[in-house]
Structure 1
Amino acid sequence: MDIQTPAPPPEGCISCEVVDTHILLIGINRPAKRNGWTPRMFRELAEAYTRLDDEPELRVGVLHAFGDHFTAGLDLPQVVEHLRRGEKLAPMGLVEPHDFGLPGYRRRTKPMVAAVKGICYTVGIELMLGADITVAGDDCRFSQMEVQRCILPTGGATLRMPERAGVGNAMLHLLTADEFDAAEAYRCNFVQKVVPAAEVLDAAVGIARRIAAQAPQAVVATRLNVLKAIELGQAAAVADFGPVQQRLQTTEDAAEGVRAFVERRPARFTGR
């Protein structure tokens, strides 16, 4: 996919573009600084995630980056005072992009596909782990290097690395701050696909298109049920089976799904 890089301000920004009506491309835009994160970028990312959830026509987000690298991590001189004061970098009341339920923030309901390439350090790993599906370029270089700077990873790495890869593999990468490649990220289940670097965005958008073609309410319900099982346990997720299924079966899309099955054609879902 060929998209133009909008000229960002010096402190970077998040550039959004709607594709195929239902897909929101969310671009990390500070390539001159290897997409190093500033307070403005965190605020605009939360705004973009909130837009995805709030606009009815949007069904899937794709988080990607302009330039050769996903991100080199935090721009420490710009954020260190916020870290010292324990301040959040995203305004409260919005969708928090790391998606682990911080008090005062909304949880994302719609799916997010991450497309990562080149350098993907610290907050980059945490954002891709906070997405639902990640496509990585074969040129990726990953590192969760906070311990090198006397920082605690607070974007979800300590939660999701052991969940995906087991405690030993998580400790290996969290405590050594080593650099690892796409093959190791795939082995640890941090990413779901590895493709040539030039194909990363196309592959991620292809997955997003497949998701966007499904019944939107069922996609959201399925995603939330998976997260409930992970976070609250099997019994909590099973308890939702009956009431959620009943609610879905009263929708126009459920009727369309039956019609499409009988008529042997692709369903045309509206989200209603």
Structure 2
Amino acid sequence: MLPWLRRLLIASIAAVLFWTIALMIFENQFIYFPEKYPKGPYDQARSIPGLRECWITTPDGIKIHAWFAPAESARATLVISHGNAGNISHRYLLLRSLQKHRYHVLMYDYRGYGRSEGTPSEDGIYIDGRAAFDYVLTLPGVDSAHTFLWGTSLGGAVAVDVAIHRPVAGVILESTFTSAKDVARVFYPFLPVQYFLQTKLNSIDKIRTLHVPVLVVHGSHDTIIPVGFGRQLFQAANEPKEFYEISGADHDDTFFVGGEEYFDRIDRFVVSALPASSALRK
């Protein structure tokens, strides 16, 4: 072997080993990107009518922060698990839009995000999701038969996990993925990190056990989580299920690009999933 080729091979192997070990050691730092309060448009969010500050204590003693936006003559309640970056304040426009479309909305921050205590982990965010669902059922006019789980990106894995542990009316999965290993293959195609990942976020296997209505929403031009992941989740889900691909949408702009059609699809899904003549109490 030529000396220069040998040096190149050794350098390449060393680089692969270095980055694989780094990803193994700092795994959570490559998955969770929280922003702590006061970073974010908190002041703008407080203009949402009737917005309530909520504090939820999880079974393992972590206090997490949430917002509850009540709606007049609400048709259902949505519990929203957001993506892996930022905090709930960055999603206030979606929260307000859903409230306008007559949904009660509970949106919460995982441990370590926004004003919530603790540090994020896979087990931790699942605990947070279940605690948020349990909490919303204690609020006046909310019951599980009219409560839907909504998960965006990372939150999709949380929504699916909560749905297999709690009775829900349905699940909405937006811009989400099949499993952490599948995402690792896309983000790090030249590194064997999928073989060493401790984080599973295995929605593809869990969704096969769900028997509630599922709506999968994905942008056709998602540059973070390819739309193929959404299609795979849809194929694995049991009936009744719907797939809504938003033409031209990327990862974080689905409701902007989708416009009124986006909310019409949400409305139709919710109505179809609820019993006839069903409505929430005020």
Report the TM range for the smaller structure's normalisation.
0.3 to 0.5
Q: Which structure's relative contact order is higher, taking Cα pairs within 8 Å and 6+ residues apart?
A: 2
What's the TM-score, normalizing by structure 1? 0.38
Larger Rg: 2
Q: Which has the higher helix share?
A: 1
What's the TM-score, normalizing by structure 2? 0.37
